[in-house]
Chain A
């Protein structure tokens, strides 16, 4: 029976949530029932009330890294799909989004 225990694949329980300049947090995404709950909880943890649940006005973005190492916007997938493929979550400030876009464009420019 001890051999069986080793053979069973480890199931991920906690997912890291990170924000530049802050200490990271760990959450169990399966304990939330939808995106609204998840975003509200993360807002509370980092003192960002209202900024993640209204991203269009605030400019803050919640993104996640999946198991193919792609960075995606949180909220596009059906919730169950998201829970199955999220590896870690990052909070991006409006400044970071802007910087990342500009860096991306610069890279394209230099490549061209």
Chain B
């Protein structure tokens, strides 16, 4: 009963999305999506023209939920989705519940896999 009820629909949450190596950034409204899966699909489509072509037709994005794949990123063309949170820290996308992510994400970066290899989970 102490909780504030928000009036009307929530405001849009536009954030910049950069992809390492891409010539320009995009902007998306995070509130357009209901889950990490939806976001992943949207980003794959948005940047497909840069990830495909010369480097094979495979999607460059990694599966947010597939941690094992993080171990295998060196020399691959995979991209790791990371985000800058309100503290200014760059974090791996997918660890916190979706609503919390939408509230704390200030900016998205699809990081070249080899740059993010330090993120690989310990055995």
Contact = CB atoms under 8 A, between A and B. Distances in A.
Contact of A71 (B24, B49, B55): B24
Interface stretch (A5-13, A15-23, A39-47, A75-83): A75-83
B28 A76 contact: yes
B38 interface: no
Contacts of B55: 105
A69 B12 CA distance: 23
B23 A92 contact: yes
Nearest to A62: B24
Nearest to A72: B25
A83 to B, nearest CB: 14
Contacts of A108: 20-21, 112
Given A112-B112, A112-B114, A70 B16 contact: yes
Report, as a range, how many residues of chain B touch the other chain.
20 to 34
A82 to B, nearest CB: 9
B48 to A, nearest CB: 12
B75 interface: yes
A73 B14 contact: no
Nearest to A74: B24
Interface in A92-112: 92, 96-97, 100-102, 104-105, 107-108, 111-112
Interface of A: 61, 63, 70-73, 76-78, 81, 92, 96-97, 100-102, 104-105, 107-108, 111-112
20 contacts: A61-B24, A63-B24, A70-B25, A72-B24, A72-B26, A73-B25, A73-B26, A76-B26, A78-B12, A100-B23, A101-B21, A101-B22, A101-B49, A102-B54, A105-B21, A105-B55, A108-B20, A111-B114, A111-B115, A112-B115
Interface of B: 12, 14, 16, 18, 20-28, 49-50, 53-55, 74-75, 112, 114-115
